[in-house]
Every structure is written in structure tokens, then in C-alpha cells.
């Protein structure tokens, strides 16, 4: 809803996608008065274009995989408890691509976070045989969420300003002034780090993709993923999605139309659609960090910190509490293609950091990104 002018808030959250909505949701639970601001509309960017598939990561054993799978389990419980009307928990089949993947996944089955079954090709129904040649893992808990529905529901009791492009984050007399509102703090949940100089050191990158909403009489009983994702049938509609365009300009949509036909042909090689009609095409960016973990926590004043401690660039360690931070400014971004898996867990982590002073894990904290920036930078003051 639109708010009255000259309102005072604890936090202004920049961005009304899944990261901004989940941040607002958890900060409100802590009793904070928040406003969400977006230059477009709610979920009008990459979040609204997402297929919002909830599935674990397989065939790997790493900190990244462990975090993905913990967040997956958390997200399923979160949506089931708070937004069950937007959850389609039909299970998800993750098809394997080679014999090597079969062996690799067998080694790491103990790391999988939920009930699963490995299915051989002859055990898989409703899928073209060439697509399931190497079998796959079926996860009973796998799901999708209605991306726009869940974001709007998260924000239903929260003040939202649409169509306001925030360009400067100026702190004056203890408040950030944006149009006619004042906020004690800021949480940046935008998709590009070059939108604000304050987070340029984080170096977010955009990975573009799209989702097709197809009307078909073919019935798909579960969600499916291989090189693209296909959702289970829902009232005659099937969602097909992929995050596969590494760099792309919003101003040249005509250049990516061939990708739509390509994705449809790929989906048809998995499922024999008897008929279909493309009802909607959604296109947007999913931002990611260079190491693919989210960017979370207090925003470091990179230039001032390097001016004070230039030897950081040579690898000298400085305690984090000595860093210079932007006053009461935070970031929750870089969720990549797993935004709806990660956002509930990372938003709660950030809210606990802000409201209870519980440290953000170092694999998520902005410090790691600052150190990478420092080593490649030449700012000595």
C-alpha cells in the first residue's frame, strides 16, 4: 500500500523482490517499522520472472552444497507454515546427465537433506526415455512457490512505495532521507551493485533467465529439473524456467526470442506435450556474487577502510570491528538462481544480526567480498 508523506521508519528496504520482501517480513517480526521501496512494482524484476523451484543440490560435498541444502529444508518448512496457499509440493525429480554423475551422486547421498529415492530409467514414468537415460533423484519435499503471490503476501501488512527510483542514500541528522520519508537504517536488496556506490565493492553480477507459462492438456504429476526446469501441472498451466543467459540487456528483448524456442524444444525432449500454448513470458535478472554465496550483513565503507588500513591490500589482517561501516546500512542480495530457497533463511540471519547483534557467518558476511575487492584495488588515499 502507499504510505502517507513524511513518515518515519526504522528501516527503508530498497527492492521489492524476494530478498526485500523476506527482509521486511523478518524485521517486522522483530517489531521494526519498515517501508519497502522499488523503482518498479512489487516483484517486477527477476523475482517475478523466477520459476521459484525449491530443490536441494546433489552430486557435491562442499560448504556451498551444505548451505544450499540447509536453506532448502528451512525454506520448505517456512513456506509450508506461513504461506501454504502458494506452495506446490508435488515432489521434484532431478535427472542426471551422465554415468559419471551417477557414481558421483552415489558417493554424496549421505549429504542429502531430505527423503529421496534414486530411480533408474526404467522406474521413471511420464518422462521421455532419452531424457531419463541415467535415472534421477526424486525428492518428496521438492516444490515450487508462486513467486509473485508469496512476495505480495509477505508485504501485505507492510508499507510499500512503488515507482520510486532511489539514487542517493544520504544520511543527515541521523536519518536517511528518501523523498518524503525518513529512515534510521537502510537495507539494500537491489539486483545490481552499480546502483549504489556504497556497495560497488561487492561486485554483484547478473545472470539472466526467463520463465514461460504454458497452457497444456498434458498432465505432469511432479516438478522436473535437468538443463531446464518444468513445473508440475497446476490448473492446466505448466511453468518452464531456466537461468542461462549470463549477460543481457533489458533494452533488447528481441535478441533473446530464439532462447524461448530453444527452451520449449528442450522441455519437449523431456515431456511429450500433446498440445501447448504459451500464455506468458517473464524475463529478468537474478544477481549473484563472484563466489555464489549471498551478500549479507553490514555494508563496509570500502574506500575509507582502505585509506585507514591500506596494508589490508597486501594481506595484513585487521579485526573486523576496526573496519569503517556505513552507519546503520545493510545488504541482503546476491541470491542468484536459488533466491526462493535462500531468502527465508538469509533474511532471518540478517534480522538476528541487526536486532540481536548475532554475527553473520563469515561465508555469507560482506567482509569476504571486501577482502577480495581490497586485494584487486589500488585505493591508497
Q: 72-90 pLDDT, tens per residue?
A: 999 999 999 999 999 999 9
Query: Three cell numbers at 24?
Result: 521486511
- Burial degree of 84 (CB within 10 A; 0-12, 13-18, 19+): exposed
pLDDT at 246 over 80: no
User: Are both 263 and 294 inside the same structural domain?
Assistant: no
In a domain, 319, yes or no: yes
Please indicate, yes or no, if residue 159 is contained in any of the structural domains.
yes
d(CA 142, CA 348): 22
End-to-end CA distance of the chain: 45
pLDDT score at 256: 57
Q: What is the pLDDT of residue 249?
A: 44
Residue 166 is part of a domain; what is its CATH number? 3.50.50.60
Least confident of 134-138, 205-209, 247-251, 353-357: 247-251
Q: How confident is the model at residue 285 (pLDDT cuts 50, 70, 90)?
A: confident
Instruction: Say if CB 287 and CB 342 are below 8 A apart.
Output: no
Domain stops at, among 235, 255, 284: 284
| Residues facing 206 on adjacent strands | 287
Q: Which of 234-238, 246-250, 319-323, 325-329 is least confident?
A: 246-250
Give exposure, 144-165, as e/b (b: 16+ Cβ within 10 Å): bbbbbebbbbbbeebbbbeeee
Nearest to 285 by CA among 346, 351, 335: 335
Helix or strand holding residue 152 (H, E): helix 147-154
Question: What pLDDT does 238 receive?
Answer: 93
Q: pLDDT value at position 51?
A: 87
Is 185 within a domain?
yes
- The answer to whether residues 329 and 348 belong to one domain is yes
**pLDDT at res. 248:** 42
Supply the angle between the helices 339-356 and 63-82 in degrees, to the nearest 10. Answer: 90
Helical (H) or strand (E) element with 92: strand 92-95
In this structure, the dihedral spanned by the alpha carbons of residues 364, 366, 369 and 371, taken in order and rounded to 10 degrees, is -120
In a domain, 52, yes or no: no
d(CA 30, CA 34): 11
Q: Is residue 61 part of a domain?
A: no
> In terms of pTM, does the model score above 0.85?
yes
> How many domains are contained in the chain?
2
> Are residues 330 and 219 part of one domain?
no
How does residue 297 score in pLDDT terms, banded at 50, 70 and 90? very high
Per-residue pLDDT for 380 more than 50? no
137 falls within a domain:
no
340 in Cβ contact with 54 (< 8 Å)? yes
Of 38 and 113, the one with more pLDDT? 38
For residues 269 and 154, membership in a common domain is answered with no
Output the DSSP codes for 221-241.
-SEEESSSEEPPPBTTEEEEE
Q: What is the pLDDT of residue 61?
A: 85
- In the Cβ-directed half-sphere of 22, how many Cα atoms lie within 13 Å? 29
Residues 330, 210, single domain; the answer is no
Q: Is the dihedral of CA 104, 73, 35, 3 positive or negative?
A: positive
Do 260 and 157 sit in the same domain of this protein?
A: no
Alpha-carbon distance 60 to 109, whole Å? 9
Single residue among 284, 302, 333 that ends a domain in this structure: 284
Same domain for 183 and 220, yes or no, is no
Query: And the C-alpha cell for 175?
Result: 536519518
pLDDT for res 251:
44
Same structural domain for residues 256 and 369?
A: no
Per-residue pLDDT at 262 = 81
Give the pLDDT confidence of 131-181 residue by residue, as tens digits: 999 999 999 999 999 999 999 999 999 999 999 999 889 899 999 999 889
pLDDT of 110 > 60? The answer is yes
Within a domain: residue 101? no
Within-domain flag for 215: yes
Statement to judge: residues 363 and 256 lie in one domain: no
In the numeric block, the cell 508435488 is attached to: 90
Residues 264 and 220 in one domain: yes
The residue ranking higher by pLDDT, 157 or 260, is 157
pLDDT digits (tens, 9 = 90+) for 270-283: 998 888 899 988 88
Reduced to 3 states, what is the DSSP secondary structure of residue 351?
helix
**Range of the structural domain that residue 234 is part of:** 205-284
Q: What percent of the chain has pLDDT over 90?
A: 67
Listed residues 260, 284, 308: the one ending a domain: 284
Virtual CA dihedral for 217, 219, 222, 228, nearest 10 degrees?
A: -50
Mean pLDDT across the chain: 89
One domain for residues 242 and 301: no
Residue 267 has pLDDT above 50, yes or no: yes
**Element (DSSP H or E) covering residue 211:** strand 205-215
Distance CA(17)–CA(222), nearest Å, equals 26
Model confidence band, residue 48 (pLDDT cutoffs 50, 70, 90): confident
Vertex 9: Cα angle to 326 and 84 (nearest 5): 100
Query: Residue 138: which of 100, 98, 104, 91 has the closest Cα?
Result: 91
Q: Are 180 and 219 found together in one domain?
A: no
Amino acid at each position: 500500500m502507499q504510505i502517507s508523506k513524511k513518515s518515519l521508519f526504522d528501516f527503508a528496504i530498497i527492492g521489492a523482490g524476494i530478498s526485500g520482501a523476506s527482509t521486511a517480513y523478518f524485521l517486522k517480526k522483530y517489531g521494526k517499522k519498515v517501508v519497502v521501496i522499488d523503482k518498479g512494482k512489487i516483484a517486477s524484476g527477476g523475482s517475478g520472472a523466477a520459476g521459484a523451484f525449491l530443490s536441494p543440490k546433489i552430486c557435491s560435498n562442499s560448504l556451498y552444497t551444505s548451505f544450499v541444502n540447509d536453506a532448502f529444508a528451512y525454506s520448505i518448512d517456512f513456506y509450508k507454515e506461513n504461506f501454504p496457499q502458494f506452495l506446490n509440493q508435488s515432489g521434484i525429480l532431478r535427472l542426471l546427465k551422465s554415468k559419471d554423475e551417477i557414481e558421483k551422486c552415489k558417493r554424496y547421498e549421505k549429504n542429502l537433506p531430505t527423503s529421496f529415492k534414486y530411480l533408474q530409467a526404467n522406474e521413471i514414468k511420464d518422462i521421455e526415455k532419452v531424457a531419463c537415460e541415467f535415472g534421477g533423484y526424486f525428492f518428496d519435499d521438492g516444490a515450487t512457490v508462486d513467486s509473485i503471490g508469496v512476495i505480495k503476501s509477505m508485504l501485505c501488512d507492510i508499507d510499500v512505495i512503488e515507482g520510486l527510483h532511489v539514487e542517493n542514500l544520504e544520511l543527515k541528522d541521523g536519518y536517511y532521507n528518501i523523498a518524503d520519508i525518513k529512515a534510521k537504517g537502510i537495507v539494500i536488496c537491489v539486483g545490481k551493485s552499480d546502483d549504489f556506490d556504497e556497495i560497488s565493492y561487492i561486485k554483484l553480477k547478473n545472470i539472466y533467465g526467463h520463465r514461460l507459462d504454458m497452457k497444456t492438456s498434458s498432465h505432469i504429476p511432479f516438478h522436473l529439473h535437468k538443463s531446464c526446469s518444468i513445473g508440475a501441472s497446476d490448473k492446466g498451466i505448466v511453468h518452464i524456467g531456466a537461468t542461462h543467459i549470463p549477460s543481457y540487456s533489458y533494452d533488447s528483448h528481441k535478441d533473446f526470442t530464439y532462447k524461448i524456442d530453444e527452451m520449449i524444444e528442450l522441455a519437449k525432449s523431456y515431456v511429450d506435450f500433446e498440445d501447448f500454448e504459451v500464455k506468458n513470458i517473464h524475463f529478468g535478472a537474478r544477481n549473484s556474487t563472484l563466489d555464489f554465496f549471498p551478500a549479507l550483513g553490514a555494508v563496509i565503507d570500502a574506500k575509507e577502510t582502505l585509506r585507514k588500513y591500506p596494508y589490508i591490500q597486501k594481506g595484513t589482517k585487521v579485526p573486523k570491528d576496526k573496519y569503517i561501516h556505513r552507519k546503520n546500512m545493510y545488504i541482503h542480495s546476491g541470491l542468484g538462481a536459488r533466491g526462493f530457497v535462500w531468502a527465508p533463511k538469509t533474511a532471518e540471519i540478517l534480522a538476528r544480526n541487526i536486532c540481536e547483534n548475532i554475527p553473520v557467518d563469515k561465508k555469507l558476511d560482506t567482509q569476504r567480498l571486501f577482502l577480495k575487492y581490497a586485494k584487486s584495488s589500488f585505493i591508497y588515499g
